[in-house]
Amino acid sequence: MAHHQGDVRDSSNALYGNNRFEGQVHFGGHIVNNNYHYPFTPGPSGLAFQQPLESNDDEGNSSSGDKLDFFSEFDRIYEQHPSAAQLLSLIGMFHPRSIPRSLLLDPTSSTSRVARQEVERKFERDSEVLLDCSVVRLDKDGSGLSMDGFAHHCVKEWLSEDQVRFFKLRSWSALASNIPDPNSGNLERFESLLPHIEIVAMEDPRSVDAQSAVVWTTILRRGAWYAHRTGRYPMAEQMSRKALGVSKGMFGMDHYKTIRFRSQLARAYARQMNYPAAEKIQSRVVQHQRKTYGAKDRRVLLDSSELATTLYHMNDPRAKAMYREILPGLEGILRDNNLSPTDTRNINAAISETLHGLQKWNKCETVDRQILARTLETLSRYDLTSLNAMDRLGLTLQRRNKHQEAETLFRASITGRTEKLGDCHIDTLNSMLHLADTLAAQHEFREAKVLYKEALDGFEEWVGSQHEIIRRCYKSFQDCSGMVQDDVERPRARSSSGESQESASSSDDGQYASSSDGDQAHKQGEQHIDRKRGVFKWFRRG
């Protein structure tokens, strides 16, 4: 294979604007970026390509000849329109479907209005070249470009290894600068960028060097946040795990970024009921944060709340002691008028978890109603955050024997979560379990039995057959089966009396585990993750 070297006389439009992470200067016709020179190659072969390999497109109809046809077309574009060839190379680093214009052109990076307009004109001319050559196509809404999957594959083979590395890093920088801040609430923007975030997440961590580590981990951190926010917990786990591995090697075990990735990974574990793995990470995070910031710091209190909740689900007696310790600090921070809306929401959620763990149901109901009301002021009732708040309030009302209102909330939560996440998602299954408990408390055993069976089958796909939640669902299912006789249910009892139900003493969010099964659950820890990945691809869109 021959790799040609040279330079581009007009390289100012190669990337359509600088990015916010690395600077770019021009020296002797070479693009100087990330401490190395990247020369482009004029000549009969254009941007040097490697020897073609056999490959198939999505339909399996491609051949070595098809690949050579693309290479010839790419060469022609380079010979006649070098700037368009550079745009083509950048497009080849993103996901081939729906590449937003902002990833290929960032006018805000140019300080001069005249310079921005010139960059935009060059981009339009180069886009027209690629469209006329049928190498790319315009999306239906006109907001971005797409590319055939096999042609997209050929672009990387057409480029040399150094060129792929260069354009890949530039695509990462463009993506990192375009991903919105998690606190902005711009979920639609996150969703449009998610396929491109996934492409970055597929990168082998061993290939991420010190020059690209900051950009790469930034993309994965925000991608993991969005994946968790939208219920894609396996995806959040994968991204957090990869980013954590790179962060430990590049920044150190106790760097704040490494600690942040540990916390993200632990949350993904906890939402998937892998409590032993979550507890191991959270304990280490809390220990480090206490030593660094002190026991009363907001970050320490929030991390301690997450650890206490995990211990609570494991029936660990340390949970209540930790809840009692952190509650005054959380309530004190909430009285601070300088808190951001995000901090206020997080503190309120931690207080709710703490009151729930301490079984202070009256006060917990007040807090949960406030959380739901404030959430609905800014978000739709069908947003996942709103549905989580409904489910949370329903649990508290269930503990207070307010079963009718709890039932209404659980049914709304199931409807919304099924629409957003699917009927086999772990959050939807939790809502089913909560509704089944509420119906059983009202002697609606027939419907409760059906829901217990659905939850039982669904949870087994996520956590395996030996998890405590499986035994709990099976026992409840058997109890309801025994109460259904001759197809006649017992009269429905809708009272707010203090009758105690076994289901009412269970922990919140449908996430149950017993300390007696701790060792066994720990052994399952990594196994059940691999098993569920076979059922739920971490690229699933919910």
The CATH number linked to 541 is: 1.25.40.10
What is the Cβ-side half-sphere exposure of residue 162, based on CA atoms within 13 angstroms?
Answer: 15
Whose tokens are 């280490």? That residue is 284
Whether 262 is in a domain gets the answer no
Last residue within a domain, chosen from 178, 193, 225: 178
End residue of a domain, out of 130, 150, 178: 178
Torsion region of 28: left, alpha or beta (phi above 0 gives left; psi -120 to 50 gives alpha): left
Boundary-marking domain end, from 113, 144, 178: 178
Cβ pair 431, 406 in contact under 8 A: no
What CA–CA distance (Å, rounded) separates 24 from 247? Answer: 25
Cβ 263 vs Cβ 223: under 8 Å: no
Give me the amino acid identity at 367.
V
DSSP state of 97: S
**Residue 249 covered by a domain:** no
Q: What are phi and psi of 14, to 5 degrees?
A: -60, -35
CA 360 to chain centre: 33
CB-CB contact of 191 with 180 (8 Å): no
Q: Which amino acid is at 293?
A: Y
DSSP 165-192: HHHHHHHHHHHHHHSPPGGG--HHHHHH
Q: 539: burial class by Cβ within 10 Å (0-12, 13-18, 19+)?
A: middle
The dihedral of CA 440, 444, 447, 453: what is its sign? positive
| pLDDT recorded at residue 64 | 57
**341 — phi, psi (to 5°)?**
-55, -35
User: 515: closest CA among 219, 314, 234?
Assistant: 314
In a domain, 277, yes or no: no
- Our count of domains for the chain comes to 2
* Tens-level pLDDT at each residue, the chain (542 residues): 333 333 332 333 334 433 322 333 222 222 323 322 223 333 332 223 233 333 444 444 455 568 888 999 999 999 999 999 999 999 999 999 999 988 987 544 555 677 778 888 888 999 999 999 999 999 888 888 999 889 999 999 999 999 999 999 999 999 998 998 887 777 888 999 999 999 999 999 888 888 889 999 999 999 999 999 999 999 999 999 999 999 999 889 999 999 999 999 999 999 999 999 999 999 999 999 999 999 999 999 999 999 999 999 999 999 999 999 999 999 999 887 678 888 888 999 999 999 999 999 999 999 999 999 999 998 899 999 999 999 999 999 999 999 999 999 999 999 999 999 999 999 999 999 999 999 999 999 999 999 999 999 999 999 999 999 999 999 999 999 988 853 444 444 444 434 433 333 333 443 333 333 334 433 333 333 333 333 222 223 23
510 in a structural domain: yes
Residue at 68 is within a domain: yes
Residue 21 DSSP class: S
Domain that holds residue 33: 24-178
Is residue 388 a part of any domain in this protein? no
For residue 488, being part of any structural domain is answered with: no
CA distance 221 to 238: 11
Q: Supply the DSSP symbol for 100.
A: E
Q: Which two tokens stand for residue 213?
A: 């580590």
> Cα dist. 173→15, 40, 142, 217 in Å?
11, 20, 23, 11
How distant, in Å, are the alpha carbons of 57, 424, 431, 443, 530 from that of 455? Answer: 40, 8, 9, 19, 20
User: Residue 105: inside a domain, yes or no?
Assistant: yes
Q: In what order do the strands lie in the sheet with 136-138?
A: 99-100, 144-147, 136-138
Q: What is the reported pLDDT for 309?
A: 96
Q: pTM of the predicted model, to two decimals?
A: 0.77
Pairing of strands 36-38, 24-27: unpaired
DSSP-assigned letters across all residues of 454-470:
HHHHHHHHHH-SSSHHH
- pLDDT at position 210 is 84
DSSP state of 255: S
- Which ranges in 252-383 belong to alpha helices (H)? 256-271, 275-293, 298-313, 318-334, 341-357, 361-378
CB atoms within 10 A of CB 467: 24
Q: How far apart are CA 465 and CA 94, in angstroms?
A: 40
